[in-house]
Chain A
Amino acid sequence: MSVTDSAAAVAQPVLSTHGLTVRFGGHVAVNNVSCDFRPGTLTAIVGPNGAGKTTYFNLISGQLPATAGTVKLRGQDITHLGAPKRTRMGMGRAFQLTNLFPNLSVLENVRLAVQSHRGLGINMTTLWFRHRDLIAKAEQILGLVALAERRDDLASALSHGDKRKLEVAILLALEPDIFMFDEPTAGMSVDEVPVVLDLIHHIKARGDKTILLVEHKMDVVRSLADRIIVLHNGYLVADGEPEEVMASPIVQEAYLGAGVADHV
Chain B
Amino acid sequence: MLTTLLSGDFPRSRALSVLLLLVLVGLALAPFLVHGARALNVAATICIFVVLVASYDLQLGYTGIVSFAHTMFYGIGAYGVGIALHAMGPGWGPVALGTAAALAISLVLALVIGLFSLRVRAIFYAMITLAVAAAFAVLASQLSDITGGEDGRSFKVPEILQPSFRLMDGEILGRAIDGRVVTYYLVFASALALFLLMLRIVNSPFGRVLQAIRENDFRAEALGYRTVVYRTLANCLGALVATLAGVLMALWLRYVGPKTTLSFEVMTDILLMVVIGGMGTLYGAVVGSALFILAQNYLQALMGQASEALSGVPFLSQLFHPDRWLLWLGVLFVLSVYFFPTGIVGKLRAGALARSQKSP
Please report A residues at the B interface, Cβ cutoff 8 Å. 61, 63, 82-85, 87-88, 93, 95, 99-104, 108, 111-113, 115-117, 120-129, 131, 170, 174
Q: Which residues of chain B are near A131, meaning CB under 8 Å?
A: 205
Contact of A121 among B203, B211, B218, B230 (CB under 8 A): B230
Q: Are B204 and A104 in contact (CB under 8 A)?
A: no
- Complex: chain B residue closest to A170, CB-CB: B223
Could you tell me the distance in whole angstroms from the C-beta of B15 to the nearest C-beta in chain A? 23
A82-B221, A128-B208, A131-B205 given. 5 additional CB < 8 A pairs? A101-B212, A101-B215, A120-B205, A124-B205, A124-B207
Bound together, the chains give a CA A115 to CA B233 distance in angstroms of 18
B206 touching A122 by the CB < 8 A rule?
yes
With A126-B205, A127-B7, A128-B204 as known contacts, state yes or no: A102 contacts B216, CB within 8 Å: yes
B39 at the interface (CB under 8 A from A): no
Q: Which residues of B contact A174 (CB under 8 A)?
A: 223-224
B323: min CB distance to chain A, Å: 43
| Subset of 17 A-B contacts with CB under 8 Å | A84-B225, A84-B226, A87-B224, A95-B222, A99-B218, A101-B216, A111-B208, A112-B209, A115-B208, A122-B205, A123-B206, A124-B200, A124-B201, A124-B205, A125-B200, A128-B208, A174-B223
Distance between Cα atoms of A61 and B222 in the complex (Å) = 8
Q: Given A102-B215, A115-B205, A126-B205, A82 and B224 touching (CB < 8 A)?
A: no
Complex CA gap A28/B112 in Å reads 37
Interface size class of B (residues with CB under 8 A): 20 to 34
Who on chain B is nearest to A103 by CB? Answer: B215
Assembly CA distance A116 to B229 (angstroms): 14
* Among candidates A83, A102, A120, residue contacting B222 with C-beta atoms closer than 8 Å: A83
Question: What chain A residues lie within 8 Å of B226 (beta carbons)?
Answer: 82, 84-85
- What is the interface of chain B mostly: helix, strand, loop, or mixed? helix
Give Cα A82 to B119, complex, Å. 13
- Closest residue of chain B to A92 (Cβ to Cβ) is B222
A92 to B281, CA, bound (A): 32
A127 touches B204 (CB 8 A): yes
Known: A99-B218, A101-B219, A112-B212. A84 touches B224 (CB 8 A): yes
Residues of A within 8 A of B211 (CB): 101, 104
Of A85, A102, A112, A125, the residue contacting B223 (CB under 8 A) is A112
Query: Which of B8, B218, B221, B229 touches A127 (beta carbons < 8 Å)?
Result: B8
Q: Are B219 and A104 in contact (CB under 8 A)?
A: no
Give chain B interface residues in 194-251, CB to chain A under 8 Å: 200-201, 203-209, 211-212, 215-216, 218-227, 229-230, 233
Task: Tell me which residues across on chain B come within 8 A of A83, comparing CB atoms.
Answer: 221-222
Return the contact of B203 from the options A102, A104, A128 (Cβ within 8 A).
A128
Q: Which residues of B contact A93 (CB under 8 A)?
A: 222
Given the complex, which residues of A lie within 8 Å of B203, measured CB to CB?
127-129
- Return the 7 tightest CB-CB contacts between A and B, nearest first: A87-B224, A101-B215, A116-B224, A124-B206, A123-B205, A116-B223, A88-B224
Nearest Cβ on chain A to B60's Cβ, whole angstroms: 15
Q: How far is the CB of A163 from chain B (nearest CB, A)?
A: 13
A122–B207 Cα distance when bound, in Å, is 9
> Known contacts A127-B8, A131-B205; is A117 also within 8 Å of B224 by CB?
yes
- The minimal Cβ–Cβ distance linking B237 to chain A, given in whole angstroms, is 8
B10 to chain A, nearest CB (A): 12
Closest to B227 in A: A84
B177 to chain A, nearest CB (A): 36
CA distance A85 to B221 in the complex (A): 9
* Complex Cα spacing A113 to B220, Å: 9
Interface centre among A82, A108, A116, A129 (most CB of B within 10 A): A116
The answer for the CA separation of A123 and B219 in the assembled complex, in Å, is: 20
Most buried by B among A88, A125, A128: A128
Q: Are A108 and B208 in contact (CB under 8 A)?
A: yes
B198 to chain A, nearest CB (A): 10
With both beta carbons as reference points, the residue of chain B lying nearest to A123 in the complex is identified as B205
Known A-B contacts A99-B216, A104-B212; the reply to A127 vs B224 at CB < 8 A is no
Contacts of B208 in A (CB 8 A): 108, 111-112, 115, 128
- CA of A131 to CA of B7 in the docked complex: distance in angstroms? 13
- Chain A residues with Cβ below 8 Å from B204 are 123-128
Residue numbers in B under 8 Å from A128 (CB-CB) = 203-205, 207-208
In the complex, chain A residues whose CB is within 8 Å of the CB of B229:
122
Pair B209/A63 contact, Cβ less than 8 Å: no
B260 to chain A, nearest CB (A): 31
The residues of B that contact A87 with a CB separation of less than 8 Å are: 221-224
Q: A112-B209, A127-B203, A128-B203 are in contact. Are A100 and B221 (CB under 8 A)?
A: no
Which of chain B's residues have a CB closer than 8 A to the CB of A95? 222
- Interfacial chain B residues near A115, Cβ < 8 Å: 205, 208-209
Inter-chain CA distance A93–B221, complex, in Å, is 11
Shortest Cβ gap from A205 to chain B (Å): 26
How close is A215's CB to chain B, nearest CB, in angstroms?
20
Q: Tell me the bound Cα distance from A82 to B8 in angstroms.
A: 35
Residue of B nearest to A99 (CB): B219
CB distance from B194 to the nearest CB of A (A): 14
A231 and B205 CA atoms in complex are apart in Å by: 41
B225 touches A116 (CB 8 A): yes
Residues of A within 8 A of B219 (CB): 99-101
